[in-house]
Amino acid sequence: MRTKIETPDAPAAIGPYSQAIRYGDLLFVSGQLPIDPAKGAMEAPDIAVQTRRVLSNLTAVVRAAGMKPENILRCTCFLADMNEFPKFNEVYAEFFGKDAPSRETVQVARLPKDSRVEISAVCGA
């Protein structure tokens, strides 16, 4: 059964997509941007600050589906500048610890709203 997941604790979708879709025991979380959902504004253009906000938003969507960050199996990470990878990786490692999910990280030409980072995830119950 396909279920749309929405929470006010993460930014609303800025296009024709859902924050997440639950399908059986799997949760597919759309790419999260560093937007403060309370203010509706983008965080400062510092990669560490933006990464923390993205992970906070991602966690809010995961929790809205009744899961925990430990349920995250895979992340796809998009960076505007791979030179920021060390700072991004530092925050990512703090968040996930030693049992981090599988992931790929790629540099892209541009992200929505000129974000420095975007992360999507697949979770399993």
Report the pLDDT averaged over residues 60-68: 98
Sequence-distant (6+) residues with CB within 8 A of 31 are: 76, 78, 118, 119, 120
Among the residues of 1-125, which ranges form H helices?
47-64, 85-96
Q: Is the pTM of this model over 0.95?
A: yes
Q: Which two tokens stand for residue 35?
A: 């937007």
Query: pLDDT tens digits, residue range 71-91?
Result: 999 999 999 999 999 999 999
The CATH class that applies to domain 2-124 reads alpha beta
Q: What percent of the chain has pLDDT over 70?
A: 100
- Is residue 67 packed enough to be buried (19+ CB in 10 Å), middle (13-18) or exposed (0-12)? buried
Average pLDDT, the chain: 97
Domain boundaries, the chain: 2-124
pLDDT tens digits, one per residue of 91-125? 999 999 999 999 999 999 999 999 999 999 999 99
